[in-house]
Amino acid sequence: MGTVEKTAGAAAVTPAEPRDWDEIARAARPVIGRYCRACAVCDGRACGNQIPGPGAKGSGDVARRNYDAWRDVRLNMDTLVGGDAADASCELLGRRLSMPLLIGPVGDVNRHYGPSLDTMAYNRLSLAAARAEGIAAFTGDGIPDELMVQSCDAIREVGGWGVPTIKPWSREKVAAKMRVADACGPLAIAMDVDAAGLPFLKGQEPPAGPKSPEDLAVIAAMTERPFVVKGVMTVGGALKAARAGASAIVVSNHGGRVLDGCPATAEVLPEIAAAVRARAPQVTILVDGGIRSGLDVFRALALGADGVLVCRPFVVAAYGAGQAGIAFLIRRMRAELQDAMMMCGARSIADVTPDMVRVARR
């Protein structure tokens, strides 16, 4: 067990090297604020529609649906395959990663999760843990503009193993943020185009909102680096992003925070992946939303993704156990992915194919 740490009004036991998720979640609960319950499984049920907080918009149903949809993807076991090790490493966004996992962007951390961490403290922890574990982390955008500058400094400090994410502001504001992002040498630069639906962005000056395909093409051309369009939920949207010059898309509904009534990402991933493979094969396909284990990563790969983003559980891990908590979760997901690969007959990421899963709708 680790040290007892004083935080804003609460004493929490912070495990130095956590043994399991329960230990991390227990340490997180006294310090994480009143909106997130640091649940045994982050399935969108306890937080419901709690915003501020990590919940989803409207009925809160979309985050739950994201999580549940992966449970309907069952793994086809086949151990009659040679080879005694599964290699989870892969090439993504121009770098070799230890597994096809990226830590997704979370902005306004203290508002949604409580004052013992803020966005920059979280960014530093997630970037450092990701780098040490051979993966990369996205950073979020927000107000004030200085946040983007600080996030990019932190990305530079880990050798560029990060992806700054810019909100769909006005063209001038995006251009300024793009210059800052580009200069820190990141793997890629992302835009969460779906943030147009975030309640707190409404009424900002300059406004953030939907982008036309022409606007997106102008923005993509502002950088030579891979440009990632996050928040794609339809075949049409994916192809528009590809035509605008996106190197990668993230099939994402922002964890249910931007539009109630969306399908789950696992529901739309296969059709989007099929269309992109056929018509824009140069585009990397990422997906997020309710991915909580290495099994879920395997499910996403089998449904057509090249890699995944995981977001909320890493925030809980950071509140509970700092960098060690985030590293624990990455290692656990990698071990689970390798186990799923071994049991389904895949020895490399390229071996994971659609026939290794069966979608069994309840």
Ligand X SMILES: Cc1cc2nc3c(=O)[nH]c(=O)nc-3n(C[C@H](O)[C@H](O)[C@H](O)COP(=O)(O)O)c2cc1C
Subset of residues 90 to 129 that bind ligand X, contact rule: CB under 6 A: 104-107, 112
- Cβ-based neighbours of 157, under 8 Å, separated by 6 or more: 127
**Residues in 255-274 that interact with ligand X by CB under 6 A:** 255, 257
Quick one: 208 or 344, whose CB is closer to ligand X?
208
Residue choice 23, 61, 192, 296 for contact with ligand X (CB under 6 A): 192
- Name which position in 49, 116, 123, 252 contacts ligand X (CB under 6 A): 252
Binding mask 3-42 for ligand X (x = CB under 6 A): ----------------------------------------
Minimum distance of ligand X from residue 127's CB (angstroms) = 15
Instruction: State the nearest-atom distance from the C-beta of 288 to ligand X, in Å.
Output: 4
DSSP-H helix ranges across the chain? 21-28, 61-71, 109-113, 119-132, 146-157, 171-183, 213-220, 235-244, 265-279, 294-302, 312-344
Question: Least distance to ligand X from the beta carbon of 312, Å?
Answer: 4
Q: Does 352 bind ligand X (CB under 6 A)?
A: no
Binding range to ligand X, per CB under 6 A, among 20-28, 233-241, 307-315, 322-330? 307-315
Q: Beta strand 90-92 with 95-97: parallel, antiparallel or unpaired?
A: antiparallel
Q: Which is nearer to ligand X, 125 or 346 (CB)?
A: 125
Structure tokens that stand for 75 in this block: 């793994």
Chosen residue from 37, 64, 211, 312 binding ligand X by CB under 6 A:
312
Specify the residue for token string 């975030």: 198
Here's the x/- map for ligand X, 275-304, by CB under 6 A: it reads as -------------xxxx-------------
User: What is the distance in angstroms between the CA of the first residue and the CA of the last residue of the chain?
Assistant: 41
In the block, which residue shows the tokens 């979608």? 359
Which CB atom, from 251 or from 344, has the smaller least distance to ligand X?
A: 251
301, amino acid identity: L
- Residues 12, 311, 326, 341: which binds ligand X (CB under 6 A)? 311
- Find the helix packing angle between 235-244 and 265-279, rounded to 10°: 50
Distance CA 151, CA 184 (A): 9
Per the DSSP assignment, residues forming a β-bridge with 28 are: none
61 part of the interface to ligand X, by CB under 6 A: no
Distance CA 344, CA 142 (A): 42
Number of residues that bind ligand X (CB under 6 A): 23
Binding of ligand X by 230 (CB under 6 A): yes
Q: Do 238 and 304 contact (CB within 8 A), yes or no?
A: no
- Local structure of residue 144 (DSSP, 8 states): S
Decide: is 310 part of the binding site for ligand X (CB under 6 A). Answer: yes
64 binds ligand X (CB under 6 A): no
**350: exposed, middle or buried (C-beta count within 10 Å: 0-12, 13-18, 19+)?**
exposed
CA 285 to chain centre: 13
Q: Is 165 in the site for ligand X (CB under 6 A)?
A: yes
Q: Of 18, 114, 140, 307, which lies in the binding site for ligand X, with binding defined by CB under 6 A? A: 140
Please confirm whether the linkage preceding 164 is cis (ω < 30° from 0). Answer: no
Residues of this chain that bind ligand X (CB under 6 A): 54, 66, 104-107, 112, 140-141, 165, 192, 230, 252, 254-255, 257, 288-291, 310-312
